[in-house]
Amino acid sequence: MKKLLALFLTFALVLSLAACGTGTVETLENPASANSETENPGSAETTDTPEVDEPNMEEYSVEAPGNGPADASDITSVEGVPLITLNNGVQMPQFGLGTQIQSLENGDLGVLNQTSREAVAAALGSGYRHLDDAHGYLQERGVGQGIIDSGVPREEIWITDKLWPSEYGDAYNAIDQMLDRLGVEYLDLVYLHHPAGDIDTIVAAWQDMERAYREGKIRALGISNFDNRMDAFNAIMEQEIKPQIMQIECHPFAQRLETRELAEQYNIQVECWYPLGHGDQRLLNAETLEAIAAAHGKSVVQIIIRWHIQEGFSVIPGSTNPDHIQENIEIFDFELTDEEMEQIRAMDQGESGRYFNLNYDFMGGMFTSPPREWDGEFAE
């Protein structure tokens, strides 16, 4: 029994590391298996959603980020990618690259960081200007080096990072360490990666993020997977600065209607990880999507990503394959019809369509250890 429990905990940790960030899991052994999706297997828990008090929208307001290093930001639309205006007035590219590489996250960190470096450089070369990263992905240094390799000025790139729950007790200093690993002076968005741990510690981490926000080190604040733990969500919504973004698992099989309504109540932007359904072949080979793809001369993956865009989500499919990276951004030269959007909406399987539903009460202990670090040298 001890061996079985250990195996289960290891598997759950792999899932939680992935939670929050991309689309289908693409392994390096077979990069063509499911075009692009590597980040954000999210954790969620299968409990009934408690009722949430209606917010008083007349009192709902979000202060702008403070003056500081982030004043250098110069985000513009590139390759037709729309900009979304968040509830604090900051604009974010709606489409980006998820950088989590699940097949390597427990392997050689040098290989992981080099692979991430190459994927980021390829994406920025293709016109991406939004990168989604996390300390839990173990490759911030690789992402930072990829930015340097690309030659794209840092201020033209939206960089997202996520705090791991083991860092919540000293989140302010953990943010400075993120900046150091990435080699940048500010972050465009920082998430609390998981609603794990006691509420007081989660709130203290959020307040540290508020401090960095007011100092101009961060341009937007977010919560990831908090749809899975409503007491933590409600505690954050009681703080002085409300979230700009809520990152959740969302794809045609799990369209998360109730959670989207909750985000809309608070004017919070929804960002989707697992947009390609974790590479599920039932989704990627669905007849409905294949017919729509044929009508537009596009791939099924492009149809799925385009659906996310037209639903108003921010979407961050991940890939390490340069061809898939290029394919994923080629979705701004066509539109789905109202009928096609409805056909895709009809694919929703509700909460049963989700892939990851971790219970934070049961699995909370696996978040206590900090992510491993890599201090190696990059090959030229």
**Exposure class string for 155-178: b at 16+ Cβ within 10 A, else e:** bebbbbbbbbbbbbeebbebbeeb
Helix (H, G, I), strand (E, B) or coil at 65: coil
137 is catalytic: yes
Residue 336 dihedral angles phi and psi, to the nearest 5°: -80, 145
* Cα–Cα distance list, 286 to 49, 90, 263, 309 (Å): 30, 37, 29, 19
Neighbours of 22 (CB within 10 A): 33
Listed in sequence order, the residues at least 6 apart from 284 whose beta carbon sits closer than 8 Å to its beta carbon are 24, 34, 35, 276, 277, 300, 301
Instruction: Name beta bridge partners: 13.
Output: none
Cα 267-262-364 angle, rounded to 5 deg: 115
Pair 276, 34: CB distance under 8 Å: yes
Catalytic residue among 128, 137, 168, 355: 137
* Cα–Cα distance list, 207 to 70, 162, 242, 243, 268 (Å): 19, 15, 11, 12, 18
For strands 189-192 and 269-273, give the pairing: unpaired
Closest Cα partner for 275 from 77, 79, 20, 8? 20
Q: What is the identity of the amino acid at 86?
A: L
For strands 130-132 and 158-163, give the pairing: parallel
Instruction: Name beta bridge partners: 85.
Output: 91
Residue entry with tokens 């930072």: 144
Instruction: Name beta bridge partners: 192.
Output: 163, 223
Active site residues: 137
